[in-house]
A and B are shown apart, each in its own frame.
Chain A
């Protein structure tokens, strides 16, 4: 347990609505990540952050934005949710980039 919490843990929303998922860490780690996991695709990186206000895109970033205004919080926003964004979303942290990553418990998002 690396002190990572995600909220909400479950959410059902309608197509076209904005959704924000929150990842919170208690240990001031510099690097934070957002992944999504879908059957048959494993985990895929959406966005990552290497410091406050420093973020970059991962391999599946279309339709997602992120923000990091404080070290402890990394927000993932779906500006207009689509059914293809139904997934389980995991947040992760690592100390310096390249070392092992520790994952949160996940958020299950359903877009109807």
Chain B
């Protein structure tokens, strides 16, 4: 019962913006979009989350479409250290569980 769909992999050139898409067409009104990443052999790392407005922090920007059925995570200036698996997760704000799908393997190339 996957709630999100992400491409399995993508490449990005170092220094360029990386745009990671996520489809969540069945999202409910009380569900947020969360993004995490996992660098090889490390624990997942929280990146950003949003409900309906675009969000930006020191790591990334999150763009959510007006109908909330899809979103894009933007890494503005990708570095080699951004090579990781990126997970898009939909969850209600008071839901204790994170459901990780397969994610997108992002490879940043020099």
Contacts and interface: CB of A to CB of B under 8 A. Distances in A.
Interface stretch (A11-19, A78-86, A95-103): A95-103
Interface stretch (B16-24, B37-45, B60-68, B73-81): B37-45
Main secondary structure of the interface of A (DSSP, over half): strand
Interface string B1-35: 00000000000000000000000000000000010
Contacts of B96: 31, 33, 48, 50, 97-98
A99 B103 CA distance: 20
A34 to B, nearest CB: 12
B42 A42 contact: no
A59 B1 CA distance: 13
Nearest to B93: A98
Given A42-B100, A42-B103, A106-B41, A101 B46 contact: yes
Chain A contact-residue range equals: 20 to 34
Contacts, number: 51
Contacts of B45: 103
B43 A105 contact: yes
A59, A97, A100, A104: most-surrounded residue (chain B CB, <10 A): A100
B97 A45 contact: yes
Nearest to B100: A42
A104 B102 CA distance: 20
A105 B42 contact: yes
11 contacts: A33-B96, A42-B87, A42-B100, A43-B98, A44-B100, A59-B97, A90-B43, A92-B44, A97-B95, A98-B95, A103-B45
Interface of A: 31, 33, 35, 42-45, 48, 50, 58-59, 90, 92, 97-106
Given A92-B43, A98-B91, 17 more contacts: A33-B96, A35-B98, A42-B87, A43-B100, A44-B100, A45-B98, A48-B96, A50-B96, A90-B44, A92-B98, A97-B95, A98-B92, A100-B49, A103-B44, A105-B42, A105-B43, A106-B43
